[in-house]
């Protein structure tokens, strides 16, 4: 067993998004003057990270099995890790890793059901369904593929964290979860650009393949504008404090990414600073929003 290959297949740098989304859920709890049980929070974080690791490793396994890894031009932000190409003998171990972390997520979810009842079950079941079906099924349905990343990291992770810590749903957590929802959708949308040619050969039908680069660029603009508008409206209506406007500070990064999208299209992978700007935007915006609520 090659431990390094397995660790690489989990795509560690991408896991940073998970604690940021969990933190946003925690910040809502603190903002609403409720206590945070540290042991529960640790379990939430383990469950969320396990789900993220599971979907990453299962994706690595399936992309290697389908031959997609052989066709993909990898960047730091797209195209998989390529670890299995160097050590194909680790294929079964990567699959087992994905299954084990899926089971860990499931067991933690069952504990939360025993703690809070069936109200948490819809979030858990939908989350598990996303993990299992993302690579094998969701990628063949363009509109579902477009919104499923944001659904998992935004609505499910933020609202799920808040619910587990308090035992009840909060309107504020639902509202703020739409911020990472749109940003993470844009993150995965742009990261699909460099893989379009390879993904077509593998039978995928995500949004850029079916509707093209121009329409995808328009969706990116729309989701960015909605994110900005939501933050401003939430502050104006008193759902968020005035300090939450600091979450708008990273927004110019979207303009940089959009410039690359329009100029380079599916060849944007050769100009990785555009992809990097989009990653920074996706991480910094919910992070700053969470900090504004914690303060």
The phi-psi region of residue 167 (left if phi > 0; otherwise alpha if psi is between -120 and 50; otherwise beta) is: left
48's tokens:
């969320």
Length of the chain: 295
Euclidean distance between CA atoms 48 and 102, whole angstroms: 10
Q: What is the pLDDT of residue 56?
A: 94
258-291 exposure pattern, b = at least 16 Cβ within 10 A, e = fewer:
bebbeebbbebbeebebbbbbbebbbbbbbbbbb
Could you tell me if 261 and 282 are in contact, meaning their C-beta atoms sit under 8 angstroms apart?
A: no
The DSSP symbol for 21 reads H
From the first residue on, what is the mean pLDDT of each consecutive set of 10 residues in the chain (295 residues)? 85 95 98 96 97 95 83 76 85 94 97 95 94 90 96 96 97 98 98 92 92 98 98 98 98 98 95 96 98 96
pTM score of the predicted model: 0.95
H/E run at residue 45: helix 38-66
DSSP conformation letters of 238-275:
TSS-GGGGGGGTTTHHHHHHHHHHHHHGGGGGGSHHHH
CA–CA separation, 251 and 228 (whole Å): 8
pLDDT per residue as tens digits for the range 244-289: 999 999 999 999 999 999 999 999 999 999 999 999 999 999 999 9
Q: Tell me, what's the pLDDT at 1?
A: 56
Residue 138 CA: distances (Å) to CA of 20, 23, 53, 128, 207: 24, 27, 18, 13, 11
Fold entry, domain 3-294: Farnesyl Diphosphate Synthase (1.10.600)
Residue 231 pLDDT? 98
């Amino acid at each position: 067993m090659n431990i390094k290959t397995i660790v690489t297949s989990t795509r560690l740098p991408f896991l940073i998004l998970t604690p940021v989304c969990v933190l946003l859920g925690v910040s809502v709890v603190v903002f609403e003057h409720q206590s945070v049980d540290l042991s529960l929070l640790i379990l939430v974080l383990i469950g969320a990270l396990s789900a993220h690791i599971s979907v990453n490793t299962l994706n690595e396994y399936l992309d290697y099995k389908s031959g997609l890894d052989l066709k993909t031009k990898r960047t730091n932000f797209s195209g998989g890790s390529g670890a299995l190409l160097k050590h194909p003998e680790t294929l079964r171990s990567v699959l087992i890793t994905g299954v084990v972390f899926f089971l860990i997520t499931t067991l933690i979810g069952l504990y939360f059901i025993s703690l809070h009842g069936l109200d948490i079950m819809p979030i858990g079941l939908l989350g598990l369904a996303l993990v299992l079906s993302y690579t094998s099924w969701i990628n063949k349905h363009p509109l579902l593929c477009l919104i499923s990343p944001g659904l998992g990291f935004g609505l499910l992770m933020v609202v799920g964290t808040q619910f587990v810590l308090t035992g009840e749903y909060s309107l504020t957590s639902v509202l703020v979860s739409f911020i990472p929802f749109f940003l993470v959708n844009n993150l995965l949308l742009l990261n699909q650009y460099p893989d379009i040619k390879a993904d077509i050969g593998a039978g995928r039908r995500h949004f850029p393949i079916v509707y093209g680069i121009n329409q995808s660029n328009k969706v990116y603009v729309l989701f960015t504008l909605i994110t900005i508008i939501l933050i401003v409206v939430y502050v104006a209506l008193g759902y968020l404090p005035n300090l939450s406007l600091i979450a708008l500070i990273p927004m110019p990064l979207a303009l940089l990414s959009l410039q690359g999208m329009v100029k380079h299209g599916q060849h944007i992978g050769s100009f990785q600073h555009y992809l990097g700007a989009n990653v920074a935007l996706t991480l910094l915006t919910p992070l700053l929003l969470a900090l504004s609520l914690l303060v």
